[in-house]
Every structure is written in structure tokens, then in C-alpha cells.
Structure 1
């Protein structure tokens, strides 16, 4: 079997965790499997880098740079000494060189009083740059040959959008030549979260970028399976912090995962699924700390049981925008004007609902985008296109997900009857043509209760025959 295995930040948090990672890889290596590995930064490191980089242009001095460099040195050298003691000198020198480069660019950002998207990408890639050599050394410590690659060296070619780059189709052939050819001889360790443009300029892949890297590399090497190792047993029917008897799903489809992740569930980002889906590669989500658990399989057509609904999730940091006015009725181009203005202000619209009268359009946006959205839409009232634009921060969006809902009569009735009996008022409803997702908006305080009510209504805590 040929596997791509990706290990997230909690899975590589310290030397003990990396020991577990190597145990898993060693077992498969001894069984004759071919392996490629993608690793994230240690937990919290990327957030620390982002926070400091964004602060430096306006900071009075660089006093926070040296403490961060010292902290990163201590953390990674301690991890290296515990995970690969025979390589502390060799790999320690690599870590020191990279810390020096990081310090120089942080000083430059402060001195120039500017953080460009390109320099920010370079800075936030250092979490993976510092950690991947440690994982490679830990493998060699066990006698498993391993070479470390950054995303560009591995063959991930991307668009030039810094912070949110997308892999290009040419990546497949490059990865096959650079990584695929090594799998019979060693275990390549690849830094997640990054790639490069055709000109060799480093880019990062955005939210859940390491998962995206895993899917890109997995597709490039024609992996039989892609395993995403994390700190939970798999994808759950709902957030266990809200539903204490939430259950791990045995199987889920690509489309269901995309719907769940779009609405805030901590599973693979929608873009992360695309390369695997393109090549129909089975993806597993497994727990590094409980490797015997089978986890969750993500496949083209998920396992169907007698329940039409498979999982629930909700996002609480959103806001609603309501655009009203009889002037909108029968007037071509209103929707175009709205969405063009929002796009120009880089506002992402998460949900849309329009009344059949055409006198009202309701939108849901990320709460952090609300002010920009309101500014972008001010012209609608000023130019007499609509009567008013109002907004509400006291809302959350709930998503009911299940491929079994497609063509299943009465699902919407069950959902809204259950909510009505529980006294939960629904403010907005949206459903896509895939019929795998019914989304609705309620008051923020009603979000957890709505999820609990529907989790009980569809018996999602019970194993199904």
C-alpha cells in the first residue's frame, strides 16, 4: 500500500508526541508500505508568528523579537534532543540557521514599517521549517532513511495569491517526479502549508493548509489512501463541547465533509478535499493518541444508514445583513451590484436567501467582515436602489448535513417542527441544490440548543443498524 500521512500540530507537539508518530510510521514501514509524510508546525507556533509579524510595523521597538526567537529555539531544540538525540548537532545547526533568517526578516519588517503579503507568507512558514527537520531526524534515529523537503522542493506549484494560494494542475507531475520516485527507498518528510509560484516565490495555502498539502501530495504520488492524523478519533456527529454524547462517524462522503467544514466543523477544509476527490482517493481521519481506533473514512459515496441526517454544526461568529426595498422588485442588476460591491471589499458571503417578492435579500457574513460589508453596501440606500440595509450581530448559522436528505421527503418538516416545539425561532433558511445541507439562522443564544434538539430528533448519538 502507498500512504500519504499528515500529522497536525498536536500530533507533533513535543518529543513524546513525535515518538508516537514515528511508532506509527515504523509499523507501516516494516510492513512494506510506501510512505510520504506531511507535517504541520507545532501547536501554537504559527499563531505566535502571525501575531508578532502583524504587530511589528507599528511597534516602537523590536523588543519582542528576541524573546520569541529564544522561545522557538528552546522548544525545538528540546524536542530534537528528546526525539533524535544522535542528531542534535547536525539538525540543531539547521534550526539555528533558520532562526537567524527568521530574526532578520522580523527586524526588516519593523525597520521598513511594512508587512507585505509576500513577507508574511515567508515568516509564517517557519513553524514547518523548524519542525520538519526534527521529524526527519526522528525517523533516521530509528534507522528509517528520510529526506526533508519544503513544499516547493516537493513540487507543489501554486497560484501567486499570498496567504490563500491554490495548487496548479502541474503539481501532480512535479510531485510524482520529486517524491514518488523516492518512496521505494525512503520516507520523505514534507513541510505542509506551503508551495511556490512558477518563479520560486514562497506561498502559503491558507486555513488548514497542511491538510491541503497532504491532499495535493497524496494525489501527486497516487496514494492508495491519505491519512490525516489529529487528536480526536475521527469526524463526529457534532461538536462534543455542545453535544456530550456526539458519536464518531464510520464514514462520510466528500460532499458532506465539504458542507460540514464550510460551516465551522473542525474537519478538513473544503479545498483540502478537492485533490483527493479528483483522484478518488480514500481519506481517513485518525487519532495519533489512539491509533487502534478505525477513525472516519471519507469517500466519494459515504456509508448510508437509515437516518437521512448525518451530522450537525454551527458557526457563532457571524452576522446577518438584510437588504430591503420595493425598489428592488423587477429591477435587473441589483444582485450583481450587491455582490460586486462585497467582492470589491473582500467580503465573503456564507449564506444567501431571497424572498420570492424580490423585495428582500438576506446575507450571512463572517462577523469580522461586517463593517466592511456595511460600508460596501452604503451606496444602495444613497443611490435609491433599496430602502434600507440593516444588520444583526446576535445570530448564528446552523447546518444540518447528510447526503441522505437528497430526495427524502419530510426532512425539512422534521427539522423545523422539532425546532418549533423547542421554542427556537428560525430567522433565515437556505438550501443548496445538492440537497446535502439545510442551513438556517437563529439567535446566537439559541444555536447550541438548536443543535442539541436536532441531534436528538435524528438519533445521531445511536449506532445505526
Structure 2
């Protein structure tokens, strides 16, 4: 019987400094019997710095672009000086120096030929995960753990959509071929998340936050026992703790609930993480690397509906809405297809869609391509744009079949103007749009009624949930 691995993914805040690296190493040592495969992000903030450096190079300042990375590269050296032996530290310092030289050359090429930047940007961004995974591997080996560094580009094979590449079927075989012998030999593979390569070997990345996705892809390929996402909060919370200070950990979520929360703004999971787990029915556990003894959130195929129905409230800000109005919609066919083909041609992702007899409203998370999209939409009808909007998503198993739940939600925020209500297309999700300036007020009020109220109605909406999977 093949050995089942446990995937342990650690995010950037879990490896932000020497103490964080020490903590991660201790967590991994405690889980050696679970046959871990470790996936690690770049240290906190480094990917943003790398991305900003690419933009600086595109603007022609290659020297300034490379210089801008000195503080973050020095952070790696500081961590190594505190954690590693002299011999290991010298080797890692050479790895950092080599990365600096490679990035400098790439900055020069981008500055001279800005149009070539997408593949070169991925080469530069990969440096964050390559350095952090090398550093963690060395630390583990010096701690007595049989860790083995593995280049993720040999595991995850993708198309050439640089910046947001999609995995190819060849990934499963490549991952099993590379990792299974190591796991069976009792070694612990350490892999940089977020990065991959094309079949021809060119470096690609999976999109921002893609280390979660890497962990899920590798877990699915290995038929893992469990995929663990280690972050800086205890599991998935009932709301964003930056808005609701007393947000609570949700013990259990279904795949569908977790997918909706991830897509609509819950920061602890990348939206694509859940799909590979669903396909192989692998549990996903969200853990706190700063409090490893706490249970976190378990995500499984099914979970019981909470007596209060609502399990969490997610939100996304910075949303733009587009409304297209045309009498041609009335009783016609093909209009929606033509509308969506416009967005498809410009590779613009749509979040929420609502329709009436003569208009369609859509929400966009990224409106960068709108200047090119609007003229084509105007050929279909009158176009109205609203910026600075926010999506709020109320999530819980059984929402669609709970009488009065929508009335309770909207009566709670009766002073906030609501638009683009979507309810019924998903059995676990009620989504609507508000002005961005009112999102904090709306979420605070909803959380108070759903999870904090002690009166009879509040208690009816606030009971613990149980696992049925």
C-alpha cells in the first residue's frame, strides 16, 4: 500500500523572520511521522518587492530596480546568520549573491526590452520561493530532519500564461515520479510554492497567493492524507478580523462553503485551492503556525448546516460594476453570449452577474482592461460604470432552503443601500453589492446579529456546528 503524505504549506508570514523559521522547523519536526511534504512561500513582503522591482525596470531604471531589493535580500542573510552554522551560512550567502546577479541581468533585459517582461517577470518572482525553500531545507537538515530540497519547476507543469499559469495533466506524473521515492525513503521534500514551469522548462507562476494552489496540486497528485495550510490566523474566521476584532474560528466547513469564502475574499485560502482537494476528496486543514496546538478549521466534502445557517461573512473591496442596458435583450437570444465574448476576448474575469429584461450588471475584481472593453460593450447597449464598490457574501450550508434568511440579512443592514443581489444560484451563498465606504458598517452589523447577539433571535442564529463527513 503506498505511503500517504501530508502536505504542509507555510505562508509568507509563517517565515517572516528567524523566529518564524524556527517555529516552522519545530512544527515540521513534530509531524515527521505523518510523512510531510513541505511547501513554502517567499518570506513576507518579498514577492511584492520583486513585483515592484519589475515595474521599475519596465520604466527603464534597471539599476534602481535591483537596488530596491537590497533590504529584502539582506533580510534573508540576517535570518541565515541567526539560524545556520558557518558552513551552511556561507553556502546560503552565495545562493543569495547568485540570485542577486541573476535578477540584475533580468532587470537589464526588461529595461532594454519592456515588451518581453511577462516571462522574465516570472523568472524574477520565482526567486522568493527558491530562496525561502533553500533556507528552510538547510535549517531542517541542521535540526536533524532528513529534508531534501526539490525544485517545484520539475513537479508542476503549466501552460505559458505567464503570471497566472494553469497546470497541465503532466503535473501528476512528474510530481509522483519525483516525490514518491523520497517519501518512501523517509525523506521530507521541501518545495517552493507559487512557481512552476512549461513543458519546455520556462519558469511560470500560478498567480498571487499561488502557494496554496501549489500545495493542493501536489496533494492531489500524491493522493495525500491531508493538505494543511499554515498561516498567521487560527483557521477560517467568521469575518475579517481587521473589521471584526472578535471574529471566531469556524471548526468545520464543506468544500463548497470554503470555495465560496475563498473566492469572495477570505484571505486565508487561495480561491483555486479547493478544487484539487474536491477532485480527490482530500481534507484541507487551515492551521495557525503561531499557535500550532489550536485545531483551526477542517474543510471536508460535507458539513452539517449550522443552526444559525450563517457560518461566515466574506467581502471583497475595490470592485467595479458594469451595467449594460439594451432593449435588444428583450425576447432575444445570443445577447448574453455576445456580451460575455467581449470579456472573454480581453481576458477579464467576472465575479457576480445579475440580469433583468433589458439590462445586465456585472462586477469586476480587476478593471484594468475596461478602457478597451467599454467601446465594444457600447456596441451592444448603454454602458454605466460604478467604481469603489464592495461585494459582501454571507455563506452557510442550507441558505437557499432557509425561510426568512434573506429578510433577516437585509433588515439588519436596512440603512445600507444594496445592489446586485445574487441568491439561489448557490445553495450556500447570498451575495450582494454595497458602497465600499459602508462595507465595514454592514459586516459589523451582520456579524453582531449572526454571531454575537444574546437575545432570542441572536441565539437562534448562533449555535455550534458539527461534522457529518
| Equivalent position of 2:391 in the other structure | 397
Q: Residue 317 of structure 2 contacts residue 390 of structure 2 at CA under 8 Å; is this kept in 1?
A: yes
| Equivalent position of 1:232 in the other structure | 233
Instruction: Name which of 420, 438, 456 aligns with 2:448.
Output: 456
1:282 aligns to 2:283 (yes or no): yes
Q: So what's the TM-score if we normalise by structure 1?
A: 0.92
1:112 aligns to 2:106 (yes or no): no
Q: Residue 56 of structure 2 contacts residue 65 of structure 2 at CA under 8 Å; is this kept in 1?
A: no
| Equivalent position of 1:440 in the other structure | 432
| Local SS of the residue matching 2:464 | coil
Compute the displacement of 1:282 (Å): 1.0
After superposition, give the CA deviation of every residue in 1:186-226 in whole Å (9 maximum; x if it has no partner): 11110110111211121100022100111111122222111
| Distance of 2:464 and 2:34 partners within structure 1 | 33
| Equivalent position of 2:457 in the other structure | none
Compute the displacement of 1:313 (Å): 1.4
1:204 aligns to 2:198 (yes or no): no
| Structure 1 residues 392 and 254, CA gap change in structure 2 (3 angstroms) | same
Instruction: Name which of 19, 23, 28 aligns with 2:26.
Output: 23
Q: Residue 56 of structure 2 contacts residue 64 of structure 2 at CA under 8 Å; is this kept in 1?
A: no
| Distance of 2:417 and 2:299 partners within structure 1 | 34
After superposition, give the CA deviation of every residue in 1:62-108 in whole Å (9 maximum; x if it has no partner): 33144235334321121112222241123332332222212211122
Q: Which 4+ residue blocks in structure 1 deviate beyond 6 angstroms? A: none
| Distance of 1:414 and 1:279 partners within structure 2 | 37
| Equivalent position of 2:10 in the other structure | 7
| Distance of 2:206 and 2:217 partners within structure 1 | 11
| Equivalent position of 1:251 in the other structure | 252
Compute the displacement of 1:432 (Å): 5.0
| Local SS of the residue matching 1:63 | helix
Compute the displacement of 1:460 (Å): 6.1
| Equivalent position of 2:459 in the other structure | none
Compute the displacement of 1:134 (Å): 0.7
| Local SS of the residue matching 1:271 | coil
| Equivalent position of 1:174 in the other structure | 174
- Counterparts of 1:59-138 in structure 2 under 5 Å? 59=60, 61-86=61-86, 87-138=88-139
| Equivalent position of 1:294 in the other structure | 295
| Structure 1 residues 439 and 460, CA gap change in structure 2 (3 angstroms) | farther
| Distance of 2:138 and 2:376 partners within structure 1 | 58
Compute the displacement of 1:115 (Å): 4.0
Q: Residue 255 of structure 2 contacts residue 278 of structure 2 at CA under 8 Å; is this kept in 1?
A: yes
- Counterparts of 1:260-271 in structure 2 under 5 Å? 260-271=261-272
- Counterparts of 1:362-401 in structure 2 under 5 Å? 362-366=361-365, 368-369=366-367, 372-373=369-370, 375-381=372-378, 383=379, 385-386=380-381, 388-401=382-395
Compute the displacement of 1:303 (Å): 4.3
| Local SS of the residue matching 2:413 | helix
For the aligned residue pairs, the C-alpha RMSD in angstroms reads 2.0
Give structure 1 stretches of 5+ with no counterpart: none
| Distance of 2:229 and 2:331 partners within structure 1 | 49
Give structure 2 stretches of 5+ with no counterpart: 454-461
